[in-house]
Amino acid sequence: MRSRPTRLALATVATLAVAGLGAPALTSPAAAGAGHAHPGKTGKPSEVRFATFNASLNRGAEGQLVADLSTPGNAQAAGAAETIQRADADVVLVNEFDYAEDGEAAELFRDNYLAVGQNGAAPVDYPYYYVAPSNTGVPSGFDLNNNGVVGEPGTQAGGDDSLGFGLFPGQYGMVVYSKYPIATDDVRTFQEFLWKDMPGAVLPDDPATPAPADWYSAEELDVFRLSSKSHWDVPIKLPGRKPVHFLVSHPTPPSFDGTEDRNGRRNHDEIRFWADYVTGGRTASYIYDDQGGTGGLGRGQDFVIAGDQNADPFDGDSYDDAILQLLDHPRVQDPMPTSAGAVDATQRDQRINLTHEGPAEQDTADFADGAPGNLRVDYVLPSERLVVRDTGVFWPTSSDPLFARLIGTFPFPVTDHRLVWLDLGTERPHGR
């Protein structure tokens, strides 16, 4: 990836029918069940904290996460909950959270873990959540990895040939928790948007043939969706102002492929989707949602883009500087959150990390040290008019008492990702 001197200078200062898996599962205080009568936050706050956390709450078999969360004794889930409690975000996206019908897993994690203080951390109450199906593990009926066979569902080969990699439908899904009401009638999901319907899509090419962009056949492209999981626009109803659109996703890693770079290219266009969406107007006119609506955001709508984007602005395997489509977007602010723990990890892990161009203090994930090393891949990016009060990455150093339990070294006790948070002021946005 090309270097970016201005950012470095700043850093040195610091044929099966393919269908959805069912209707989205939503909850509000009235639907949350006994013991959840908390009305959520209602008074006008001075600031609101948004966060994203890839908690690795994915399991190898369908139903296993529900089983693990049904009782309060799962150590990894407790560590994920404690991390969220210590960050105490008002709105948080959790990536790699297996989808379960009717929001069962989301409710179990909330009730048995988040609502229970973990190791001295205060409980956190999220009266509202949003969860919906994911493309992961949904069979395509085609040989998408071009190895000559259509993989059996539930196997690695079947995962490769699914609409998004997964051993079962909904593996590696996501959930949004909120202390503030969610405008459920206005939520937009884009699970079924086809990759071929994005103008100028960087579709992969089979290097063994002369035809361009032909890794996938026309029949495959007729079912192949852009989102490896899904893209959601979840409006959060904050008191005294218009909703803030929480734009969440989890693009595929730009790896686990070949010279055709099919995952790298898909990652690029999954990120581009939000760039076009927030540009709005004619740029976003090609976009359609799962409910039949078209277009993107208007200029007067504020947003926060969040998620594990699997793309670093300096290092790693991204295709064509994918994340710069957001970081350099005129409607997007990059607060550049940092942590001392990320610097500590680079000094501890060394190897490829010592050759990285990007500033270590901005890393958000502790990956294999041979390649790609520690990277910045998790983002919380506000729209240009919102007032940023503070930002950071929850990454304690190895001398911190929380390190062994919540961070650790490989094999990690919770996850190889770190929670990223952003505080926004609720005063009148810039430009109004």
pLDDT band at 22 (very low <50, low <70, confident <90, very high): very low
139-164 confidence digits (pLDDT tens): 999 999 999 999 999 999 999 999 99
Q: Are 422 and 391 in contact (CB under 8 A)?
A: yes
122-144 confidence digits (pLDDT tens): 999 999 999 999 999 999 999 99
DSSP string, 84-105: HHHHT-SEEEEEEE---GGGHH
Global confidence as pTM: 0.91
Exposure letters 216-231 (e unless 16+ CB within 10 A, then b): beeebbebbbbbbbbb
412's enclosing H/E stretch is none
pLDDT confidence of residue 45: 82
Query: What mean pLDDT comes out for the span 319-337?
Result: 98
39-95 confidence digits (pLDDT tens): 466 667 889 999 999 999 999 999 999 999 999 999 999 999 999 999 999 999 999
Count of Cβ atoms closer than 10 Å to residue 282 Cβ: 9
Query: What mean pLDDT comes out for the span 311-335?
Result: 97
Grouping H, G, I as helix, E, B as strand and the rest as coil, residue 196 is: helix
pLDDT confidence of residue 316: 95
How do beta strands 128-131 and 188-189 pair?
A: unpaired
Q: Where are the domains of the chain?
A: 15-134+172-180, 137-169, 181-332
349-406 confidence digits (pLDDT tens): 999 999 999 999 999 999 988 899 999 999 999 999 999 999 999 999 999 999 999 9
Query: What mean pLDDT comes out for the span 182-191?
Result: 98
pLDDT confidence of residue 117: 98
